[in-house]
Structure 1
Amino acid sequence: MTSKNYLGLFGSLLVVAGAMSPMVHVPIVGNWNFWDLHTGMASVVYVLAGLGVLASVSGRNGLLKFAGWAEVILILLTLLAVYLKVNDSFSFIPFKKLAKAAAGLVKYRWLGWSLLAAGSLIMIIASGRGSRKTDS
């Protein structure tokens, strides 16, 4: 295995670690990781991370790049969904300031988000790195 294979493997493992890390802190309930946020999207993230491991071990750069970009898209969609859900969850409160204060109690845990983003970007970088053969 070359260094780019190890880099892709490291990126895939960072994605798994980020998905298992706390991503949102909900008062009284506690910390939620990706699985607690949405099991379907978490399953897709784990499958894509496994695909990234398989691609980096077998040396398939196209598959690794696809897995990395798919992870980026899923992370952005999940971040948007969490933001919209938090701001919509307290819309039943008739007072706007009180609803905004209640939504402000839900805190993002940026370690999980940053590990996911770093892992997927490392997967993309690892798929494009390396020497290219030229005709000479």
Structure 2
Amino acid sequence: MLTIRKTNAYIGFLLVVIAITISPIIKVPIKGNWILYQTDDRLFFISFVLVALTGFCLYLRRVAAFRIFTYVLFIWSVLMAAAVFFKSNNYFGSKFFDKVLAKTIHYQWGWIVLLVGVLLLVTSVKKMQLTVPT
């Protein structure tokens, strides 16, 4: 039987929503801190839909679907970090300009908040044995 640790799930869900919507993801030298929407709008919308589906499964208490969506969200977060890294390292197509750009763009604390939130969501579902008192 699957059970949900509700405090971990709610705190993780809140951290993921904060990380996706308002926390800075990368720092661009001239323009300042960028959130996920300013980095790539497709990544933002796909991430927001995954978070919304995960929250909907949590609200409806569909534990198996919630567990699946938490793993999908974890894999998506890793792929999203890799996509932002490769996008900043291969932006112009020229080795010189790409190296200069990669040295000036820095990751911000939003990735840590996202990682902690997703890990809390993944660890919020556990298996328990159903015991019947005799």
Matching residue within 39, 42, 54 for 1:40: 42
Compute the displacement of 1:42 (Å).
Answer: 1.2
Q: In structure 2, list runs of 5 or more residues that go unmatched.
A: none
For the 8 Å contact 2:88–2:101, the answer to whether it is kept is no
What is the match of residue 58 of structure 1? 60
1:132: which partner in 2? Answer: 129
Question: Which amino acid letter does the alignment assign opposite residue 69 of structure 1?
Answer: Y
Per the alignment, in what secondary structure is the counterpart of residue 123 of structure 2?
A: helix
The answer to whether the 8 A contact 2:4-2:126 is kept is no
Q: Following the alignment from structure 1 to structure 2, what is the Cα–Cα distance between the partners of residues 58 and 127?
A: 15
- Partner in structure 2 of residue 105 of structure 1: 104
For the aligned residues, what is the CA RMSD? 2.3
Q: Secondary structure at the match of 2:130?
A: coil
1:43-76 C-alpha deviation (Å, 9 max, x unpaired): 1211222222222233222122122111111111
Instruction: Figure out how many residues of one structure are paired with residues of the other and give that number.
Output: 130
Amino acid paired to 2:110: G
Change (3 A) 1:132 1:60: farther
1:97-120 superposed Cα distances (whole Å, 9 cap, x missing partner) = x652332011110x2111111111
State TM-score, norm by structure 2: 0.81
- How far apart, CA to CA, are the structure 2 residues paired with 1:119 and 1:16? 9
Corresponding position of 2:118: 120
TM-score normalised by the chain length of structure 1: 0.80
- Structure 1 or 2: more strand by fraction: 2
Q: 1:122 to 1:100 in 2, by over 3 A?
A: same
Is this contact kept in 2: 1:4–1:126, CA < 8 A? yes
- The structure with the greater share of residues assigned to helix is 1
Structure 1 alignment gaps of length 5 or more:
none
